[in-house]
Amino acid sequence: MHRSSNYAIVGATGLVGQELLKLLTKDGQNNIRLAASEASLGQSYLLNGRQWVVERLSADFFKDVAVAFFCASKYVSLEWVPIALECGCTCIDNSSAYRHAPSVPLVIPEINGHLLRDQPQLIANPNCSTLITLMALYPLHKAFGLKRFWASTYQAVSGAGRLGLQELDDQVQAAASGHSPLPHQAFSAPIAFNAIPSIGDFCHSGYTTEEEKMLHESRKILGLSTLRVSTTCVRIPIRRAHSIAISAEFEQLIDLDVAKEALRAAPGIEVLDLPKVPTPLAFSSRTKCGVGRLRIDSALENGLSLWVSGDQLLKGAAFNAFQLSQKMGPK
């Protein structure tokens, strides 16, 4: 079927939607439709010499679209993805709505891109922290056989959207002016000059929903149904890019040189040798993830500790979705 609009972005005014629009236009795509909330109707963007206008979301919106990206909440995806599928769109969903559905592939192209060979009509994009973590762990899993891992995440405020960014800026300015206490809405406590060890809702297990994603999504993506994972997710006062400290245990004895070579050979990874270390600032606005601080773990049998930083708006969301579209979308 000929379709006059190759792509559509639902949630186009959000941070991820905006990054996706930049990626598509940079790739030379001109047939793109944008949709967002009622409050954003008619909003326009000047990009690459063209004006892009936000439209109303409706069933008609999808009728001439080949690939639809969903960059809004899971509730928006649950309502509108089925409608887009009915219209014949291939849907790439960045929310958590379909990640655990057995029939929906959860894909990182560098890891399980073979799942796209059957041209599924709906593909789920993984959680940003899980995605960045597995970019570092997968080459090591291939080399040594992953048994379990512990992860502590250090997550930027832009993971909570524009409100998170604004709250950090406002609180820094308020503190500099001597105002206290700092008001907060986006997070459960003031974020400026602070660290908040809770992201998402708390579950009965004591873990948060963000931490549970690391367990369940890692199992699905790696195909390791009994993989054991323990995660603590922490919000920190930086604007962009997440970092994860990982201690992992493997089936085989770790050779540090082999581990480094496996990572260097992996697509989408940049390895930094000491004394250089990857930082969120250094890997902001980049599509690669930086891996460093590799060392034999002193507490685990066949253990390796490492640090990974990656831009959660790009490789953790928009760029991964863009990669999926290159394999699935119109040529």
For the annotated catalytic residues, the residue numbers are 128, 242
Reduce the DSSP state of residue 111 to 3 states and report it: helix
In terms of residues, how long is the chain?
331
d(CA 140, CA 70): 31
CB 180 within 8 A of CB 303: no
The token pair at 25 is: 């236009």
d(CA 179, CA 250): 50
The CA–CA distances, whole Å, from 275 to 139, 151, 209, 272 equal 22, 22, 35, 8
d(CA 286, CA 301): 34
The token pair at 75 is: 């509730």
Backbone angles phi, psi at 105, to 5 degrees: -70, 140
- Beta partners for 28? none
The token pair at 243 is: 């970092």
